[in-house]
Structure 1
Amino acid sequence: LINEDLTMEQAGEAHCSAEEALTDDYKMMMTLDQGQFSEVKLAFHIPTVSCVVVKILRKNKKYASFINSEVSIMKSFDHANIIKLFHVVHTRETTYLVMEHASEGDLLHHILEQGSLEESEARRLFIQILHAVQYCHNNSIAHRDIKAGNILLDCRGNAKLADFGLSAKVSPEQKFNGFCGTLYYCAPELFGEEAYDGRATDMWSLGVLLFLMVAGHFPFRARSVERVKEHILAANFKVPPHVSMDIFNVIVELLIINPGWKPNIGQIMRRPMVRSREAQSPPTSTQAIPGTTNDLEQDPHLLVSNSPRQKFQF
């Protein structure tokens, strides 16, 4: 009993010292987002005089496996187009993820501000996103929630894939069951009862994302959730006539109903849209926190009709 009490006391001191170190090194500023069991804050890292994002996860048995998976996956990543995890602090009740701050916000708001993106910018950003997804898939990770709100833009305007809260490590033949992701980006197989390939659903989401970038609205729109599902299940969409043929071909190829016919990321990387414009690799983030090794959790943005420049047509 004495040994057990001492162990508990030492553990408590370790938790306190970890939280104190976080408080000493970081000045918490504005709240960027808030979810059911998490909060995302902009913070100032005093030693390096730089801004970071701190994701605060309240420990809950129901979500423990998701938190552990997210931390493990992000720790394993090192890619210029994926948000960087700098530091993880565990206390008795909370896990803090200290991550790279992408100062230009998310791609969704950027699209809303522009109405739609110029094709040159859409190509550049989409190719950067493809590189990030290729890195994930090559490392046996399915993102499972690719959407414009989970693509962040750094100070140089480069794309950074974020939010790995639903991501999973997958084996070559592994399949998933159950709905996962954000409605407007979901592949048809997510609404069925059969198991599906998480990497194939990522590819469908990329098709929706590319369509949104060049069209300024989602390919599948309706007044109700059920009608949206119907459009997705039928792949009922129309690419605007102004879209260039090489982009049109990639969208159509990605939004194929049959998951067995869907291209993998390597095949899409060989398409003329990608090959004709070499993606310029952005420099590694200038943010560096000495002695440390990102993920921005956002609520699903199912509708973006609150923008004055982009209204959904029902």
Structure 2
Amino acid sequence: MKEEGLTLKQDMEACSSVEDPFNTDYRMMRTLGHGHFSEVKLAFHVPTVTCVAVKLLRNKKKYNSIFNSEISVMKSMNHPNIIKLFHVIETEEITYLVMEHASEGELLRRILERGSLPECEAERIFTQVVHAVNYCHNNQVVHRDIKATNILMDCRGNAKLIDFSLAVKVTPGQKLRGFCGTLPYCAPELFARGEYDAYPIDMWCLGILLFLMVAGHFPFQAKSVAGMRNEVTSGNFTIPKHVSIDIFNVILELLIINPGRRPTIKDIMRRPVIRASEARSPPTSTPSLPGTPSPSIVGTMRVMGYKPEVIIESLRDQKYDEVMATYLILQHQSPAGDCGHNQES
């Protein structure tokens, strides 16, 4: 904790004066990563003394529909294993998405550092991701880019599904078109270039993810699209001998070539590996939606200078402004949240 406090202090001292704060409530600290359409930075939320992640979307007309879809989906998400959106700030050039900061970074880094994950850890993380995907599918949202770099770990070792830039809301029976996702995770039906059912795409990605966690490498490793198409559609892969039978069976089920025969997320949640993991570590409860404000949080915000009626209005109208952001961050600081705040204490 002392090391974390020192890091936070150093980051605060290193806040660059070259880049003006995008909002007086925040201080930019350092870059955490880059995406195809975006950049993610670590920032400091001054009113609550909390570290947050800020995703910068460079406003370009050709990406507007993607950005609007991502924002809409993220506003609808409320699950302990899905990264939480706090604040949306739109300027002429940039849209800023302020989110919770999962301080332990990408799952991929953890896998690479260890070669592969112990089965008990892989089962726990996979179960949390399955719960996140189940929540998405229950709300007719398909992620379409589930991968180890899109799963972050908080300081308690809990998984957080991130990056909904390719996510879509799918009505029953709706088919999609278009190649999307990340090559090592692409399902065979994507290579056919025709219409496809979206939900089995996520299930295939889960199979690749589970394989990667326990094997330390991808089941299909071609570098080109043509090579990957050949490997994936042939369905030839080898699961390491040390993998337990329960995980072995789940991987085989998820990596079925025919998407119509692939299990649904509900099917996977009934498998012994998920049930056993849930028994060892019960799922975290989902925080309540901010429709009925917490008196204690409102009281804290009142001391900070916020008017109760303004807080209630912001939450009721789901404004995702600075008032709602402060409320959500304080709510997140409850024991169920990440411990990446108040690090100097």
Distance in 2, matches of 1:227 and 1:116, equals 25
Shift of 1:229: 2.0
Q: Which residue of 2 aligns with 1:33?
A: 33
Distance in 1, matches of 2:99 and 2:58, equals 17
5 Å-filtered alignment, 1:71-110, equals 71-110=71-110
Distance in 2, matches of 1:78 and 1:200, equals 23
Shift of 1:180: 0.5
Q: Which residue of 2 aligns with 1:8?
A: none
5 Å-filtered alignment, 1:292-307, equals 292=325
1:52 maps to amino acid: V
Distance in 1, matches of 2:25 and 2:286, equals 23
The answer (yes or no) to whether the contact 1:86–1:99 under 8 Å persists in 2 is: yes
1:270 maps to amino acid: R
Distance in 2, matches of 1:81 and 1:121, equals 15
Q: Which residue of 2 aligns with 1:118?
A: 118
Q: Which residue of 1 aligns with 2:283?
A: 281
5+ residue gaps, structure 1 = 1-19, 294-314
Distance in 2, matches of 1:243 and 1:183, equals 24
5 Å-filtered alignment, 1:154-165, equals 154-165=154-165
5 Å-filtered alignment, 1:1-314, equals 22-222=22-222, 224-278=224-278, 279-282=281-284, 291-292=324-325
DSSP 3-state at the match of 1:51: strand
Moved over 6 A (4+): none
Distance in 2, matches of 1:224 and 1:68, equals 31
Distance in 2, matches of 1:177 and 1:240, equals 34
Distance in 2, matches of 1:215 and 1:88, equals 39
The verdict on how the C-alpha distance between 1:284 and 1:24 changes in structure 2, with shifts beyond 3 A counting, is farther
Distance in 2, matches of 1:277 and 1:101, equals 25
Distance in 2, matches of 1:161 and 1:182, equals 15
Question: Residue deviations 1:243-267, cap 9 Å, x none?
Answer: 0000000000000000110110000
The answer (yes or no) to whether the contact 1:158–1:282 under 8 Å persists in 2 is: no
DSSP 3-state at the match of 1:217: coil
Shift of 1:284: 6.7
DSSP 3-state at the match of 2:179: coil
TM, length-normalised to structure 2: 0.76
Question: Residue deviations 1:216-251, cap 9 Å, x none?
Answer: 000011354422221111111010010000000000
Distance in 2, matches of 1:175 and 1:32, equals 35
1:201 maps to amino acid: I
The answer (yes or no) to whether the contact 2:107–2:153 under 8 Å persists in 1 is: yes
Shift of 1:92: 1.8
Distance in 2, matches of 1:34 and 1:79, equals 24
Distance in 1, matches of 2:223 and 2:170, equals 35
Q: Which residue of 1 aligns with 2:292?
A: none
The answer (yes or no) to whether the contact 2:175–2:196 under 8 Å persists in 1 is: yes
DSSP 3-state at the match of 1:111: helix
Distance in 2, matches of 1:207 and 1:108, equals 15
Q: Which residue of 1 aligns with 2:15?
A: none
Shift of 1:104: 0.2
Shift of 1:59: 1.0
Shift of 1:283: 6.7
DSSP 3-state at the match of 1:137: helix
DSSP 3-state at the match of 1:276: helix
Distance in 2, matches of 1:270 and 1:82, equals 21
1:212 maps to amino acid: L
User: How large is the Cα RMSD of the aligned pairs?
Assistant: 1.8
DSSP 3-state at the match of 1:97: strand
The verdict on how the C-alpha distance between 1:284 and 1:141 changes in structure 2, with shifts beyond 3 A counting, is closer
Q: Which residue of 1 aligns with 2:339?
A: none
Q: Which residue of 1 aligns with 2:5?
A: none
Distance in 1, matches of 2:35 and 2:130, equals 28
1:59 maps to amino acid: N
